[in-house]
Structure 1
Amino acid sequence: MKKSLLLAALVLSCNAAHTSASSAAANHLAEAIRLPTISHQDREQIDYAPFNAFLELLQQRYPTVHSQLQREVINQYSLLFTWPGSDPSLDPVLFDAHYDVVPIEPGTEDEWTHPPFAGEIADGFIWGRGALDDKASVIATLEGLEALLNEGFSPQRTLMFSFAHDEEIGGREGAAHIAQHLAAKDTRFAYMIGEGGMILEDDPALEGRPMAMINLAEKTYATLTLTARGAGGHSSMPTEDNAIVHLSRALATLQDNPFEPELTAPVSLMLETLGAETGGIGGFLMRNQWLGKPLILSNMAAERERQGMVRSTTAITMINAGIKENVIPQVAEAKVNFRLLPGTSTEALIERVEQLIDNPAISISSDRWKQSPPVADIDGPGYGVIRGALQDSAPTALPVPGLLMATTDTPHYRELAQDIYRFHPISVSLRQAASVHGTNERVSLQSIDQAVRISRALIMGAGAAP
């Protein structure tokens, strides 16, 4: 605890230099970035002192939230706030975000314009790991909450706010425990709003207007381990029964046989929305998918950045074999990561991989996976609340439904909410969006202030009936 207090004190002192030049939200986000709440894949490497300091920082910066709302600490480091509504007959709404971040890739530290955990405010941006994913959402939500409480706003519907601490490594200790806690109390949400969509300022698919991505679904994340076994032995006596050769052929087979492209509901709705705003033959085909579907699928599947929208993807990510250059190994192992479209089950994935490889020398096992929630209803009240908040606080942005190609904590809540929408209110350029989990992650001062306004509108909209 002493360590966390020192970290919090350092944050407070570092913040003083920026207070006069930037908004409170920007300064609070900068403070949050200075606390390296890093989720390492090996949990033994995690230093939880910054996590404790982060919780202390929130108590200091948002005293009204902490004093007026019900606050629960879940599994030591995750938070759940409850704001009771005046009408207990209404199902509550859940807002979800996370405050853990991914590590900095070793060797890239000097490539950052500003150190990744310095929380620098410079050139119109707040720089650092977590500026976009996902501390900005945490801060924007709490800023909106604090202001509304101080203004005397009272929701008609109960609102809940979860801030988890290990989303970047699967959420088993954070969101999973929050969901279990809520399920034990028979909580059922009208809908949920989590991370996953942004307001893209310069997407070429919608020229001249920002695109507010509201993702109705996300892909299921699944990793298979392929283990090949062979005779092994001294390299002076080669064998056809070579584990590395078996594995290499299997991996090449998977690489050479991608999933067929298909058009799922979230992407079809996205194209319809964009088609209504787009002229020319492209807009016509998006509006008339009965005619344009083959060409749309062919074009999207051919682009690295967009193929994940129309097919389940296969990525060979890890391989391990051999102990010495003159020893043929008996075992070779690889991990293959798949991101599955809605409607594709992990059972169907394993069956497909087994049929493609068709080699008794290779065994296939799977890590635990999170089954993604069903596609959310674009006509549901949650989507309407997000649209209304954008109309109030970012009126030039076009709400566009879509499919998140990454994965979030939302699968942990799939039994608690039928409709889960993935949107966080940050405006970014495509170049900035590419910095998520990369170098020079940053968010503009203008964007964080707008995010507070949108968050405030979301909270007010969700708190109203119906």
Structure 2
Amino acid sequence: MRQTAQTPEREPFVAHWSAKPDTELEWHTISDSQNYRRQRSSLRSKALSFACFLSLALLAHRFWPYLTSAVFSADSRLSVDEDSMCPQVSAISPSNYASLIDSLDEEYGTKEFKLKAYESLGAAVRIPTVCYDDLGTPEEDPRWKIFYDFHSYIEKRFPKVHATLQRTEVATYALVYHWQGADASLKPLLLAAHIDVVPTNDATDDDWINPPFSGYYDGEWIWGRGSCDYKPGVIGSMTAIETLLERGFKPTRSIILAYGIDEERGGLTGAAAIGEYLVKTYGKDSISMIVDEGGGYSDMGGTIFAAPAVAEKGYLDVRMDVLTPGGHSSRPPKHTGIGILAGVVTELEANPHVPELARDRTYYQSLQCRAKYDAAFPPDMRKLVLESQSSDEKLRELAKRLDDFDPAYSASAGTTQAIDIIYGGVKVNALPEAVYAIANHRIADHSSVSELQDRFTNIVAPVAAKYNMSLDAFGKTVGLEVPTWGLVKLSDAFASALEPAPVTPTTGSGPYELLSGTVLSTLKTNLRTDNPPDDAVVTPGL
């Protein structure tokens, strides 16, 4: 339902929001004099891992009450920057929950709370919920059983959550929680995270300063797999709800928590089953807003840049199999299967993907924000960004300069490729008959799975022909049809291909502006430093 908050100086702000029917949304903005009123809750720790955790916790306790009521200060509004480049909103906070927020801020600032929070995350890290690419079904593969230990841990650590919220186990180990709101007509808010982590290499475990599953807090950092990706999302949301329940808080809008178990391999088991469960339980288009992993924030010249991810790349793991006749290595062919595979890999790495700079893409919009608000942004680059908004020539010039200016440009604005796995040979004097490599790709938001497959095929086909090999490219025969020396086969390694996600609207979008205002409120009143920044900006992230 569309709700309008009137402002005397500007055109009405239209919020695309699932509010209670016939209820006008009014916004409470935080004035400059209020921005740092609650600095007593500043967190002095610079621990990166806990920073990820507490960001979500603080965001959650501000965000949820805001979503649960449509009653705000009568004179409040959500201001919109008239400048077309990187428009910003004002920091917002629900005035009718001011005392609750003050109470939470005070508790979050205590040493006792911080130490308990550090240990909540540290203990979660100590449970090695590793996700392997070759995991079988939860019913068959015993490696899943460690997730039950995690279930037991959070049940004991957050008793009020588990006594109040309804918990459903999906696909055996994934978890969905429902916190019933008072008004069933409001679409619920969904907060998502994942429990699983990537494995470590046993051969390099001793190279860690602290063991990879120690969860050790050294006074500044929390060490271990999952300390930032993404057990803070689970522990942060659980902590926020636990403290709200301790104060007797009851939401008006229902809250859903969804925790996946194999995000690190594409969510084949967990996210897929959770999605089916949510549609079956709540229906299609039944969620008001989804907040999931993605983005972060950084300090650039005294300005905090918060970058919630509004776009997500696609995904494809390409497996390259090379099948050749076997035999004894005393009479080898000119090129073994390993040599041919090496030729394929070499050709792929000699033809990297070229990034594409487009005005309607997330990277360009993020660059606009840096050019406008980062005091350290070079003046000549700032001028070029401004000119590129209307000049195609300047846009091309900007793209050329970005290769040197921003090391992350190619990875952010283009498709990435990394040859991460290679296998071949079983004995030193036996010719390898079957070898393979796997290339991981993150597909740019302007591309697609099919476009990547076509490009991959076009690069590999000449190599296959050079070595007199047939080519099966994603189920289609390409090139040579006469009898050949062997076969090169390209396939989706784990059947986990994903198209780039639809981009979340950032202009004229009520939910995005609500989230932006809440992020700004959280950053400006709950900082982890005694020296508050000069300003804070929300920029689209990828």
- 1:401 partnered with 2:540: yes
Single out whichever of 297-306 and 136-145 deviates more from structure 2.
Answer: 297-306
- 1:194 partnered with 2:194: no
C-alpha distance in structure 2 between counterparts of 1:388 and 1:78, whole Å: 31
Query: 1:60 offset after TM fit, Å?
Result: 2.1
- 1:259 partnered with 2:353: yes
1:340–1:70 distance in 2 versus 1, CA, 3 Å: same
Paired residues of 2:448 and 2:500 also in contact (CA < 8 A): no
1:54–1:325 distance in 2 versus 1, CA, 3 Å: closer
Paired residues of 1:116 and 1:127 also in contact (CA < 8 A): yes
Paired residues of 1:229 and 1:242 also in contact (CA < 8 A): no
Paired residues of 1:274 and 1:286 also in contact (CA < 8 A): no
Paired residues of 1:301 and 1:311 also in contact (CA < 8 A): no
Partner residue in 1 for 2:386? 287
C-alpha distance in structure 2 between counterparts of 1:331 and 1:35, whole Å: 37
Paired residues of 1:164 and 1:175 also in contact (CA < 8 A): yes
C-alpha distance in structure 1 between counterparts of 2:258 and 2:441, whole Å: 28
Partner residue in 2 for 1:159? 255
Selected match of 1:102 from 190, 198, 201:
198
Paired residues of 1:300 and 1:310 also in contact (CA < 8 A): no
Selected match of 1:134 from 230, 233, 236:
230
- 1:378 partnered with 2:506: yes
Residue ranges of structure 2 left out of the alignment (5+ in a row): 1-110, 465-469, 471-486, 525-532
SS of the equivalent of 1:298 reads helix
C-alpha distance in structure 1 between counterparts of 2:127 and 2:324, whole Å: 48
Partner residue in 1 for 2:399? 297
1:248–1:127 distance in 2 versus 1, CA, 3 Å: closer
Selected match of 1:29 from 121, 144, 150:
121
Selected match of 1:341 from 439, 444, 451:
444
Partner residue in 2 for 1:410? none
C-alpha distance in structure 1 between counterparts of 2:142 and 2:305, whole Å: 37
The one-letter amino acid of 1:402's match is G
Paired residues of 1:261 and 1:301 also in contact (CA < 8 A): no
C-alpha distance in structure 2 between counterparts of 1:249 and 1:241, whole Å: 10
SS of the equivalent of 2:290 reads strand
Residue ranges of structure 1 left out of the alignment (5+ in a row): 1-18, 404-466
- 1:317 partnered with 2:420: yes
SS of the equivalent of 1:351 reads helix
Partner residue in 1 for 2:516? 387
1:182-261 equivalences under 5 Å are 182-185=278-281, 186-188=283-285, 189-201=287-299, 206-240=300-334, 242-261=336-355
The one-letter amino acid of 2:203's match is G
Paired residues of 1:275 and 1:285 also in contact (CA < 8 A): no
C-alpha distance in structure 2 between counterparts of 1:362 and 1:233, whole Å: 19
- 1:56 partnered with 2:182: no
1:26–1:348 distance in 2 versus 1, CA, 3 Å: same
1:178–1:115 distance in 2 versus 1, CA, 3 Å: same
Deviations 1:4-42 (A, max 9, x none): xxxxxxxxxxxxxxx959433222112222222222334
Single out whichever of 246-255 and 139-148 deviates more from structure 2.
Answer: 246-255
Query: 1:80 offset after TM fit, Å?
Result: 1.0
1:348–1:20 distance in 2 versus 1, CA, 3 Å: closer
Query: 1:180 offset after TM fit, Å?
Result: 0.9
Query: 1:154 offset after TM fit, Å?
Result: 3.6
Single out whichever of 50-59 and 213-222 deviates more from structure 2.
Answer: 50-59
Paired residues of 1:41 and 1:169 also in contact (CA < 8 A): yes
Provide the TM-score with structure 1 as the length reference: 0.74
Paired residues of 1:297 and 1:310 also in contact (CA < 8 A): no
Paired residues of 1:277 and 1:283 also in contact (CA < 8 A): no
Pick the structure with greater CA Rg: 2
C-alpha distance in structure 2 between counterparts of 1:103 and 1:218, whole Å: 23
Paired residues of 1:26 and 1:126 also in contact (CA < 8 A): yes
Selected match of 1:76 from 168, 172, 178:
172
Query: 1:320 offset after TM fit, Å?
Result: 2.4
Paired residues of 1:271 and 1:287 also in contact (CA < 8 A): no
The one-letter amino acid of 2:366's match is M
Partner residue in 2 for 1:353? 456
The one-letter amino acid of 2:381's match is G
Single out whichever of 376-385 and 289-298 deviates more from structure 2.
Answer: 289-298
Paired residues of 1:226 and 1:334 also in contact (CA < 8 A): yes
Query: 1:74 offset after TM fit, Å?
Result: 1.5
SS of the equivalent of 2:306 reads strand
Deviations 1:409-455 (A, max 9, x none): xxxxxxxxxxxxxxxxxxxxxxxxxxxxxxxxxxxxxxxxxxxxxxx
Single out whichever of 326-335 and 247-256 deviates more from structure 2.
Answer: 326-335
- 1:331 partnered with 2:429: no
Paired residues of 1:71 and 1:79 also in contact (CA < 8 A): yes
C-alpha distance in structure 1 between counterparts of 2:180 and 2:113, whole Å: 36
The one-letter amino acid of 1:342's match is D
SS of the equivalent of 1:384 reads helix
1:251–1:157 distance in 2 versus 1, CA, 3 Å: same
Deviations 1:293-317 (A, max 9, x none): 3243234446654321121122222
SS of the equivalent of 1:121 reads coil
Equivalences, count:
381
Deviations 1:35-73 (A, max 9, x none): 222223343676445422322222222222222222212
1:285–1:91 distance in 2 versus 1, CA, 3 Å: farther
SS of the equivalent of 1:288 reads helix
C-alpha distance in structure 1 between counterparts of 2:332 and 2:207, whole Å: 45
Paired residues of 2:362 and 2:541 also in contact (CA < 8 A): yes
Identical aligned pairs, as a percentage? 29
SS of the equivalent of 2:213 reads coil
SS of the equivalent of 1:224 reads strand
SS of the equivalent of 1:401 reads coil
1:263-278 equivalences under 5 Å are 263-264=357-358, 265-278=361-374
The one-letter amino acid of 2:120's match is H
The structure showing larger relative contact order (alpha-carbon pairs under 8 Å, at least 6 residues apart) is 1
Query: 1:372 offset after TM fit, Å?
Result: 3.6
